[in-house]
Amino acid sequence: MLTPLKSEILKVDDLSHEARRFRTILWSFERNMDLLFKDTGLTAQVDHVALAEAFSRWRLAFDNSKYLASADRRDFVIYAAGLMLKELIAASPLKAVEGKEGELSVLPIGIDHRLKRWPEGYAYTSFCLSVAAAILKEMGDAEPVLAEKTDDPRFWDSFRENALESPTMAVAFFDLVCGQDPNWEAPDVPWLRRVVSRSIDVASQLQVP
């Protein structure tokens, strides 16, 4: 299950604002690892400094683009979650190791193949998707519908290869995860997202005398 955290983080009051606080991100990020890695033979090692750096960069980008949220709030939540995914991949605050320190472990045969293929990337995606889905539910909006292609190992191979080479591509791949069409040319530029561009075009036409 890609979103084990969602039911727990939904209990946070005013999540859309609390998610902008590092203390909420820290708690929810580590809780997601606990839920995701349970009974998998994997142990999560979290670098709090790197996580704080990722959050700081995300918050700056979020604050600089939140004026566009009114164009389509649902799309902006997904975009903001994709930005967080980008910064997590860039900062790499998580290391997934087999077993506990000093012991060897064999991953269970039944472990989710997506998690086994790229534990860190899968965990980052799980976290961002859980938070986005919970915020959208809190807003009374439609939650992202996980795209079927995310069950294809080749999708995660391509995701890993492209995002590790250029973390910006994580925004585009997160759109794919959520069943949306990404902007591959500049995936992290908010005003180039399709719904925002359409909104700007409509507003411009309405202003024409």
3 state DSSP class of 94: strand
Residue 198 lies in a domain: yes
Residue 38 lies in a domain: yes
- Position 117 scores a pLDDT of 85
- The letter for the amino acid at 102 is G
Give residue-wise pLDDT tens across range 101-114: 545 455 666 677 78
Residue 1 lies in a domain: no
Q: Does pTM surpass 0.85? A: yes
Residue 44 lies in a domain: yes
Number of independent structural domains in the chain = 1
Whole-angstrom distance, CA of residue 81 vs CA of residue 5 = 14
Residue 155 lies in a domain: yes
| Owning domain of residue 85 | 6-207
Residue 29 lies in a domain: yes
> What whole-number percentage of the chain has pLDDT above 70?
87
In 3D space, the residue among 174, 195, 191 whose CA is nearest the CA of residue 131 turns out to be 174
In 3D space, the residue among 136, 176, 171 whose CA is nearest the CA of residue 58 turns out to be 171
3 state DSSP class of 178: coil
pLDDT(202) > 50: no
Residue 106 lies in a domain: yes
What DSSP state is assigned to residue 145?
Answer: P
State the average pLDDT over residues 7-20.
94
